[in-house]
Amino acid sequence: MDEFKSISQMEVKSLKGLFFDIDDTFSTKGKITPEAYQAAWKLYRAGKILVPLTGRPAGWCDHIARMWPVHAVIGENGAFYCTMKKGRMQKYYTEETCREEKRIKKMATIKEEILREVPGAGVASDQSWREFDLAIDHGEDVTRLSRDKIERIVDIFKKHGANVRISSIHVNGWFGEYDKLTALRMYVKQELGMDLDNCNTEFAFIGDSPNDEPLFSYFKKSVGVANVRDYSPFLKTGPRYVTQQRNGMGFVELAEWILAVA
Ligand SMILES: [Mg+2]
């Protein structure tokens, strides 16, 4: 992995917007600080397009799209995006086939195998509000699992042919050929009328962990909050730039840099 550059070296003058991960990028130790939330409001009021991309469930995304200062939210690692139009919620799915009965049954088998084979792992507390994926908790409401155990969970998902991503708190698995970038492309095309490939440099992305990897490698202006370094062993492609500060304060650092130069 290349050495990270400082965000002060990043060109932010022409930025139309910022796409961002939520857990441990926007949030800090499980909370959204006033500084981070205010930074989002400042960007929103400055006319920047703001879209969080998260592994969190559909239930959370309903709330986020309605109440946060954002233009849309991409949930369950790219299964869908939600956006408000004239005060009404609209939701667009990347792949309807994820609902197939045989996939649901297969996921139940995977869940049983993980819980049996990996002591200490648990189903994520937010699983009930998910539409598509299975989230295994590796450090949110369970005692943090070792790297070996996380890798064991990943292997079980893969063995059954599921896509799998590690976030800072969960290991998420799903059936379907999509990730956060797939849903983002769909959002940009349908809502902004642009091809993301033609406007890559007009947006920046900020994240912290391996489930952000498709975006780290895709965006020319990809940023990691400082804690992204904790995940170096799991990352094949890291962000191009990195903030000095960790978690939400890293988000604030980038927002202030964008607003200072804009
Ligand atoms: Mg994260």
Ligand 1 mean position to 207 CA, how many Å?
6
In this prediction, residue 34 carries a pLDDT of: 98
Round the average pLDDT of the chain to a whole number and report it: 94
In this prediction, residue 245 carries a pLDDT of: 97
Distance of alpha carbon 132 from alpha carbon 185, whole angstroms: 19
Residues 6+ apart with CB under 8 A from 11: 201, 221
Residues 6+ apart with CB under 8 A from 64: 52, 54, 70, 73, 82
Ligand 1 mean position to 22 CA, how many Å?
6
Say if residue 97's pLDDT is above 90: no
Q: How many CB atoms lie within 10 A of CB 247?
A: 24
191 touches 72 (CB < 8 A): yes
For residues 209-222, average pLDDT: 93
For residues 4-26, average pLDDT: 93
Ligand 1 mean position to 168 CA, how many Å?
5
Ligand 1 mean position to 129 CA, how many Å?
18
pLDDT band at 1 (very low <50, low <70, confident <90, very high): low
Q: What is the pLDDT of residues 37-75, one digit of tens each?
A: 999 999 999 999 999 999 999 999 999 999 999 999 999
Ligand 1 mean position to 187 CA, how many Å?
20
DSSP string, 176-240: SS--HHHHHHHHHHHHH---GGGSGGGEEEEE-SGGGHHHHHH-TTEEE-GGGGGGGGG-SS--S
Ligand 1 mean position to 97 CA, how many Å?
26
**Three-state DSSP class for residue 161:** coil
Ligand 1 mean position to 170 CA, how many Å?
9
Q: How far apart are the first and last CA of the chain?
A: 30
Domains and CATH numbers, the chain: 5-94+178-261 (3.40.50.1000), 99-174 (3.90.1070.10)
Ligand 1 mean position to 61 CA, how many Å?
15
Say if residue 96's pLDDT is above 90: no
Ligand 1 mean position to 56 CA, how many Å?
10
Ligand 1 mean position to 260 CA, how many Å?
25
Say if residue 95's pLDDT is above 90: no
Ligand 1 mean position to 86 CA, how many Å?
30
Q: What is the pLDDT of residues 133-191, one digit of tens each?
A: 999 999 999 999 999 999 999 999 999 999 999 888 999 999 988 989 999 999 999 99
